[in-house]
Structure 1
C-alpha cells in the first residue's frame, strides 16, 4: 500500500499558474473596468505612497524591484510583479515564492483566503501578473527569494499591502513548487474553481511516470494513482461526496522518499450532483498490469437489467499480451454469476446482467492467470471491485444469457425454432433440443484428456465444431432453451468418477433433468467414445439419475 507524505512543508509550498479566459469585451465591460481603474487611482491619491523597502537578504543578492514601488496601494484586481537580480548566482531553487493572504471580510470561503505563486527566475529576472482572487478587500503580499545555499529554503524579499477595488472572484489553479519542478501543467480544467456534475476531467503534461490524485470534502478523503504515458495524462475523476465543493490535489512523486507523494497542483470543483458514491476498490495487480477502468469510475451506481463495463490494459506491462478477456463476477447474497468480456487491442467494452432480481450487487473484475498449465477449470486474479444497485423488476437468472450461453444470439434462436418446429409444449421442445444436441455433438476425448478448455468455449463454438465435453453440450442445450424463453440452468456435479455437467429445465412448476452428454454415447474401458443415442437421460427419475450422478450445485 502506498504511503502519502503530507508534511507541513508540502502543505505550505502551494503554487499557482495564471490562466486567462478571453471573452468578447462589451462596452459595459469597458466602462466598468474604467470605473474600477478610476476608483483605484482615487484611493492612491488619497493616501501617501511610501516607497517599498527590500530586506537585507534581497539587498545582499542585488535584487531590485521595478514593480510594485510602494508598500501600500490600491489596484483593480491585478498586481504586476517584476524584479531583477544584479548579482547573478546559481540558486538551488530557481523560483521566487509569492504568498497572497486575503485580509478582507467580504469573502468567507476558506479556499480563497491564501494563494501562492512560484515564479521562475530566467536570465536573472522574474516577472508575473498576480491576481487578487478573493474579490474586493485588503490583501497582504509576501515575496520570498530562494536561498543561495540550500534547496527549497526561502528568505523574505519584501512585503506590501494591496486594496483590491474589484469585487470579482477569480480562482486560478495553484501549482506547488514540486509541481513546477516536475513540469506539471494542466490543460483541463482551465480554472481553479469549476462547476460540474459527478465527474471532473483532468488532462495535461508532466515529466513524471505517475500522478496521485487526492479528493477531499471535509473529513472525507480518497486517493488514487494514475499512470502517465509519454509525459501526458487524461483522466475522469469521480466526485464521490455529493453536492458542494471538492478539493482536488494532484500529487507528484517525492524523489527523496520512495513511495511518497507531495502536492503538485490544487484546484476546486463545485459538484452540482447530490449523488454520493463510494470509491472502487483496486488490488495491487490493477496497477501492476496497467488496468484502467473507464467505466465505472466509482462504486454505488444505479442500473436496470444490464450494466456496461469498459477499460484498457497497458501493453507495456509484462504478460498483458496474453490477456484476451476479462471476467466479471456479480454477487448478490450467496448467488454468483460469471461473464467473460473479450479484449481486443488491449481494450475491453461489454455488458453484463443482473440476473438475480432487484438489489445491491457486488461486482468483481478479474484477469486470467497467465499460467500455461492446462486445467479443467479457469483461474482468475481479482483487480477491482465495486457495487451497483439494480432496479430490475424480476429474477431472470434462468432466462438470461450467461457465460458460454449466447441465448440472445440470432443464430441460436433460429436453430432452436427450427429444431422445435411442430412442438406445442415446452416439454416437447425440451425433448427435441435434447435429441438434437445428443445426436449432433460428438464427445471430444482429446479435450478431456488434455484439459484443453478455452475461455471462448460456448454454445456457438459447440455448434461450429460439433464436438466437445459435457460443458459444451450443456452450453448449446441451455442457449437453445433460453432463446425460446424456457427456464433452464447449468448443473454441476460428479458422474462416472469425474466432474460433470448437465441441464435442468423448468416445465410448468417443476424442474426436470436432462443429460445430453450421456445421451450422446458412452466411453469404452479403453478410452474410446462410442456414438450411441440414449433417450434414458431425458427426464429420468431422480432415483435413476442419482445412481450415476451427484448434484453439487448450479452455475451461472
Structure 2
C-alpha cells in the first residue's frame, strides 16, 4: 500500500538529524585539540623555513676533490645554505668504500653561538655497503649551525678528509642534543637508559646502561668534568650491564659525563663511548670519593655513600656488597673503617654477611672534619697476632657530634649490647662510687676470665675478638681482658680506654694491653690480665691479685711501658 509522505514531518526529521550531527562534531577531544595545536605550531615553523629559504636563494652543495677519488655522492642535503625545522638528514654513498681505513663517517656540527648544550657536537654514521644516513638535530635550538662531513682516508689510519660543508638555519627553538655513540661505543654495543645527550638533573644522575660486546672481565670508566674540576671512576660490568649514581659534585651548571670503554688494542686504556651533558639545577657542591685499586680487584661495590663531605651528628653509615666471584670474595668476612681527625685515629670493623655490608660507626673525637678510609682485610693462611688491611675508598665527613671517645662503643667493645649492659648493672649493684664500681668490674673480669695460653702461642687471633666473645668463652689474652673490662666500664658510664704497650714478665718484653679509667676526675690504671693469675710451665694458674687495680705507678712502670691509646 502506498503512503504519502508528510512534508512537515520530513522537515522536522531533517532538522533533528542536523542537530545531532552538529552536536557530535562540536565535542572535540583534548587529544584532538592538542594535535591541532601542535600541527599549527609545526605549520608555523614550516612557514618560517619557506620564508627563510626564499631569502637565502639556495645554492647547490659544493663537494671536495676527494669525493671524486672514492666515488662519493650526496643525496641529502642538496644546498650549501638552507633553513630547516629542527633537523636535517645527511645521506650519501661511497662506491669505493672497501678501500677506506674506517667504517664510520664523521659529521661535525658547530653552533654560531654557545648555548646551554655547548657549541659543538659530533656524529659517527656507520657505513653499510657503502651507504650511510644520519639524522642531525640541533643542540641549542634556534640559530645558525655549520655542518661538515668528513670521510675516512683510503691510505692513512685515523685520518679524515672534509667531503663537504654547509650552513643550516634552524628555526625551531627546541633544544635537541642527540645521544651519540663513537665508533668505540658502537663496537661495544653500548646502550644507555637516556635518549638525549643533554639532560637536567638535581645533585645525582642515575646512569644505567648495557654493553653487549663487553664481558664481566671488562670495566667501564666514567669521567665527570666541569670547568677545571675532574673526577674519574671505574665500575664493573655484570651480565653486560652497568649502573652508577653519579654525583654532580661541582654545583649548579653543566657537567660533562664521558662514558669510556676498554680499548681492545691497549691494555688498561679506555676510549670514549659517548658523552652526556648534565645540567645540574642544584647549587650544592660535594666532595668526590677516592677509589683505590683494591676496589675493583676485591670486587667491592660501595652503594652508600656516593660522595664525600656529608654532615652527620656523630654516627655514619656505609653500605655495599662484595662480588662472590672476585678474588677472595667468599673470604672477605669484614670491612675495616679507619677514621682520622687531626692526630686522633680510630679503627672500626663491620661484618660482611651474604656478601653484603650495611652498618654504622662512630665519629668519636668530637666536631670537625674526618678522613674515612674503608679497607678490605688481607686474606692469609697462617695465624698471626696482627692484621693487615688494604684501603679501597677514601672520603671526608663533617661531624657535629660530641667528643665521647672514651664512652662510646668501639671495635671489640660492645658496651651498648644488652648482655654487657645487664652484666654491668649486676656487677655494680649496690656500689655508690665510681671507684667501687670500677673495682668490682676489675675483680669480676680478673676472676672470671682464664688466660688462653694456646691462643698466645698459636697466634690464634680473629678479627671478631671482642668483649662479647670473651664473655662467652671465659678465656682470652690481654686484649680480650681489656675489651671486656672497658665494655663493662663504659656500660656503667665510666670513661675508659685501651692502652697499648710492652710488658716484662720474663727476660724479654712482649706486646701487652691494659686499661685506664677516669675515676672521680682522675685517670687510673688497671691490668686485669696480670690481676687474674700467672703462667707457669705453659699453664695458666688462676690467682686473683688486686694490686694491679690502681697500682703504685713507680712499681708498675718497672714492668709496663705505655706506648699509646688504641681506639
Equivalent in the alignment of 1:535: 546
Residue 533 of structure 2 corresponds to residue 521 of structure 1: yes
Equivalence for 1:12? none
Q: Write the distance in 2 (CA, Å) between the matches of 1:230 and 1:504.
A: 54
| Residue aligning to 2:92 | 83
Q: How does 1:478-517 map to 2 (within 5 A)?
A: 478-495=486-503, 496=505, 497-517=509-529
Write the distance in 1 (CA, Å) between the matches of 2:361 and 2:347: 9
Aligned-residue offset at 1:454: 0.1
- 2: CA distance, partners of 1:390 / 1:246: 28
Identify the residue that residue 8 of structure 2 maps to in structure 1.
Answer: none
Q: 1:498 to 1:46 in 2, by over 3 A?
A: closer
* Equivalent of residue 269 in structure 1, options 278, 284, 287: 278
Deviates more, 1:53-62 or 1:432-441: 53-62
Aligned mates of 1:543, 1:25 — CA distance in 2 = 93
The yes-or-no answer on 1:361 pairing with 2:370 is yes
Residue 341 of structure 2: aligned partner: 332
C-alpha contact (below 8 Å) 1:118/1:180 kept by paired residues? no
SS at match of 1:338: strand
Match of 1:33 among 39, 42, 47: 42
Structure-1 separation of matches of 2:404 and 2:116: 52
The answer (yes or no) to whether the contact 1:199–1:236 under 8 Å persists in 2 is yes
In 1: Cα distance, 2:122 partner to 2:236 partner: 27
Q: What are the within-5 Å matches in structure 2 for residues 110-189 of structure 1? A: 111-187=117-193, 189=194
- Asked if residue 385 in structure 1 is aligned to residue 394 in structure 2, the reply is yes
The CA distance in 2 between the partners of 1:26 and 1:441, in whole Å, is: 83
Supply the distance in 1 between the matched residues of 2:482 and 2:321 (Cα, whole angstroms). Answer: 32
Instruction: Map 1:45-444; keep pairs closer than 5 Å.
Output: 45-85=54-94, 89=98, 91-103=100-112, 107-109=113-115, 111-187=117-193, 189-206=194-211, 207-208=213-214, 209-392=218-401, 394-444=402-452
Give the Cα–Cα distance (whole angstroms) in 1 for the partners of residues 92 and 286 of structure 2. 48
Residue 556 of structure 2 corresponds to residue 545 of structure 1:
yes
TM-aligned CA deviation for residue 399 of structure 1: 0.6
CA distance in 1, matches of 2:446, 2:202: 55
Summarize the Cα distance change of 1:530–1:172 in structure 2 as closer, same or farther, 3 Å threshold.
same
> Alignment partner of 1:70: what SS?
coil
CA contact (8 A) 1:139 1:162 kept: yes
Q: Which runs of 5+ in 2 are unaligned?
A: 1-32
Aligned length: 527
Query: How far apart, CA to CA, are the structure 2 residues paired with 1:311 and 1:428?
Result: 45
Cα displacement (A) at 1:150: 4.4
Deviation at 1:533, TM superposition (A): 2.5
Q: Secondary structure at the match of 2:330?
A: helix
Deviations 1:314-347 (A, max 9, x none): 3333333322112111111221111012122333
Deviation, 1:41, is 2.4
Distance in structure 1 (CA, Å) of the matches to 2:63 and 2:118: 27
Per-residue CA deviation, residues 503-536 of structure 1 (Å, 9 max, x unaligned), is: 2221221122222222222211x11111232333
Give per-residue Cα distances to partners, 1:282-330, cap 9 Å, x unaligned: 3333343333333333333322211112333333333333221121111
CA distance in structure 2 between the partners assigned to 1:31 and 1:407 by the alignment: 73
Residues 483 and 352 (structure 1 numbering): CA distance in 2 closer, same or farther, change over 3 Å?
Answer: same
Q: Is the 8 A contact 2:106 2:150 kept in 1?
A: yes
Task: Give me the whole-angstrom Cα distance separating, in 1, the residues matched to 2:440 and 2:101.
Answer: 84
Shift of 1:92: 4.0
By how many angstroms is 1:502 displaced? 1.6
Deviation (angstroms), 1:382: 2.8
- Larger radius of gyration between Structure 1 and Structure 2: 2
SS in 2 for 1:320: coil
SS at match of 1:427: helix
Consecutive unaligned residues of structure 1, counting only runs of 5 or more, are 1-23
Inter-partner Cα distance in structure 2 for 1:551 and 1:133: 68
TM-align CA RMSD: 2.5
Q: Measure the CA separation in 2 of the matches of 1:505 and 1:203.
A: 53
Output the TM-score relative to the length of structure 2. 0.86
> Is the CA contact (8 Å cut-off) linking 1:96 and 1:146 kept in structure 2?
yes
Q: Residues of 1 paired with 2:227 and 2:523: CA distance?
A: 55
The offset of 1:230, in angstroms, is 3.2
Contact 2:117 2:139 in 1 (8 A): no
Q: Is the 8 A contact 1:280 1:385 kept in 2?
A: yes
SS in 1 for 2:98: coil
For residue 462 of structure 2, what is the aligned residue in structure 1? 454
Alpha-carbon distance between aligned partners in 2 of 1:436 and 1:99, rounded to the nearest angstrom: 80
